[in-house]
Amino acid sequence: MKVYLLEAAGATLDKMLLWLSENALVKVVAVFEKPDELLERIEREKPDLVFIRLGNAEIPGLKTGSIVMAIEQNIKVVFVSDEHDYALNAYEIGAYGYLLCPVAKDKFDKLVCHKQ
């Protein structure tokens, strides 16, 4: 499985990278800090799962998620946020999942393991 993350450096990213490295299903992990870089990579190499951070002024997360899903319907998009505020919007655009920070490992694993 190929997983991409659109996330700024920090504790949440570190945790998710650790959990992904421990998962035998995950073969490729790439981290992007800028939406343009993520979208360019998706045009070339389609991931199975994308985690997108919401609530960061530098990352227009919901818009980026919509574009990802428009590029390829089969890409599962999971939004990660410190707030409940974006959850309804995320599901309205077709999110596969929504994780609140601090991210719980069991909820994270459930989303990763169900995408086989």
Domains, the chain, in order of start with CATH, read 2-113 (3.40.50.2300)
**HSE-up (13 A, CA, CB side) for residue 33:** 3
pTM: 0.94
pLDDT confidence band for 108 (50 / 70 / 90): very high
User: Would you say residue 57 has pLDDT above 90?
Assistant: no
Residue 116: its pLDDT value, please? Answer: 44
Using a pLDDT cut of 70, give the percent of the chain over it: 98
Beta carbons within 10 angstroms of residue 43's beta carbon = 10
Average pLDDT over residues 41-70: 94
**Measured between alpha carbons, how far is 53 from 80 in angstroms, rounded to an integer?**
5
**Measured between alpha carbons, how far is 102 from 115 in angstroms, rounded to an integer?**
22
Burial class (CB in 10 A: 0-12, 13-18, 19+), 30: middle
**Measured between alpha carbons, how far is 43 from 99 in angstroms, rounded to an integer?**
25
pLDDT tens for each residue of 73-97: 999 999 999 999 899 999 999 999 9
